[in-house]
Amino acid sequence: MKRFVDMIHTKKLGGELSETEINEMIQGYCDGSIPDYQMSAMLMAICFTGLTDRELTAMTLAMRDSGSVNDLSPISGIKVDKHSTGGVGDKTTLIIGPIAAACKIPVAKMSGRGLGFTGGTVDKLESIPGFRTDLSITEFFQAVRSAGICLNGQTDDLAPADKRIYALRDVTGTVESIPLIAASIMSKKLASGSDKILLDVTTGSGAFIKDYGQSLELAKKMVTIGTNAGKETVAQLTSMEEPLGFAIGNNLEVKEAIAALHGEGPDDLMTVCYTLAAHMISLGKEIPFEQAECEARTALENGTAWETFMAMVKQQGGDTACMENPDKLPCAPIRADYRAEKDGYIAHMDTEGLGITAGILGAGRSKKEDAIDGSAGIVLHHKLGAHVCKGDKLATLHTSKEALANAGMQKLRSCYTISDEPPAPAALIQDVVR
Ligand code: URA
């Protein structure tokens, strides 16, 4: 058996590791026989020399198999999972999950919490009073059978190798590696047990990967891994040059999702939701995309998507009265308006900065154990490209303490660029990789 130090040398020089060596690496790191310092060196070597498609698939499958792999076969029908690589104001799962379920695609989904400046579906759902995201596997199956949909939290034994490696990457400067990101995301998706996978790969100032070329590379790598693992995988590339919709922050986004399910969603949010829902329905029913998009629109317009959302909330213990009347959801006691400092067009938004601002206000965590304030966040009043006059409200901050409002306001000021010229128009849906 090759010593691990020799494997590090191989990777450092751009060589290829065998499947057996990669399995030994993941198992060895999980059982403690490979120490952090050697794994760190290996991850750094991967950052510089990459992984071949064979290595990438082997690493992802080894990470998938480090914990339990869900068996969703007791739920009949083609199960399609959906995953976003992270964004700001991205509440699409709350909308497209019920749309797809209303179109008879079983939605048995495990979602994550916020990561860095991006929000997470579990945090948004938990801002609904009573909503449970810790259902047992029996309750999970029961919920999908009765409501057609369950949005549950990821269990601890879902790809535990990814948890350990991600924590190490976080402190060794090895997060921003396309193959490592691809393996991390796909190990969890493959362990979730669905039949097909839809990926929303965000790109731009509010995404983890800001450069379009690199986002496309990430999309292609994840599609390759899914295909090699025998799961049909589709990736949509979505621009995140501004937050999706107007709301950023957990229950503010739930309110916007409720409006969207009543047909009153902002244009950009609805465009992304309809295309993602159409991909899910097309994959699940094996029908053309255009037909699937018609079904998605009908489910929203005839109210069945809303009924499905309500069935899900009820099934998972959430307060349905608050959903019928979202004004009953907790409201932040402090509001502060940020106003335009001059006339002009909103030419650029530092979307990552807006996500960080929402975190400062209480919508995210800076340490793992931090509690989230479900009502904290930002409501935008204008989108990218809008013409505004000095003194117009650009955004309202929602928070619980004066000090947080001041800190958030200071950060928010650096997030807007107002110019005499409007920004060049850019497509929201940039590409699809199959
Ligand atoms: N999301 C993940 O799950 N993993 C990464 O490496 C980056 C984003």
pLDDT digits (tens, 9 = 90+) for 250-282: 999 999 999 999 999 999 999 999 999 999 999
Classified as helix, coil or strand, 390 is: coil
Give the pairing of strands 377-380 and 247-248: antiparallel
181 lines ligand 1 (CB under 6 A): yes
Contacts of 32 (CB under 8 A, 6+ apart): none
In angstroms, the CA 80 to CA 280 distance is: 6
- Widest CA span in the chain: 69
208 lines ligand 1 (CB under 6 A): yes
pLDDT in tens, 315-350: 999 999 999 999 999 999 999 999 999 999 999 999
**Residue 166 CA, closest ligand 1 atom number:** 6
- Please list the ranges in the chain whose pLDDT falls under 50: none
**Nearest Cα to Cα of residue 149 among 74, 99, 86, 193:** 99
* pLDDT given at position 215: 97
80 lines ligand 1 (CB under 6 A): no
pTM: 0.95
Structure tokens at 1: 């058996």
* pLDDT given at position 161: 97
* pLDDT given at position 366: 76
User: Residue written as tokens 């309750």?
Assistant: 139
Among all residues, which ones are annotated catalytic? 83, 162, 169, 184, 188
The sign of the dihedral angle between the CA atoms of 164, 168, 171, 173 is negative
| Cα of 185 from ligand 1 centre, angstroms | 5
**Residue 169 CA, closest ligand 1 atom number:** 6
| Pocket-testing residue among 81, 185, 189, 218, ligand 1, by greatest number of atoms within 8 A of Cβ | 185
In angstroms, the CA 128 to CA 83 distance is: 21
184 lines ligand 1 (CB under 6 A): yes
Identity of the amino acid at 11: K
In angstroms, the CA 339 to CA 252 distance is: 20
| Pocket-testing residue among 47, 175, 189, 192, ligand 1, by greatest number of atoms within 8 A of Cβ | 175
| Cα of 327 from ligand 1 centre, angstroms | 34
Identity of the amino acid at 329: L
> How far from 1 is each of 7, 13, 24, 210, CA to CA, in Å?
10, 20, 10, 41
| Cα of 347 from ligand 1 centre, angstroms | 29
The alpha-carbon radius of gyration of the chain (Å, integer) is: 22
* pLDDT given at position 268: 98
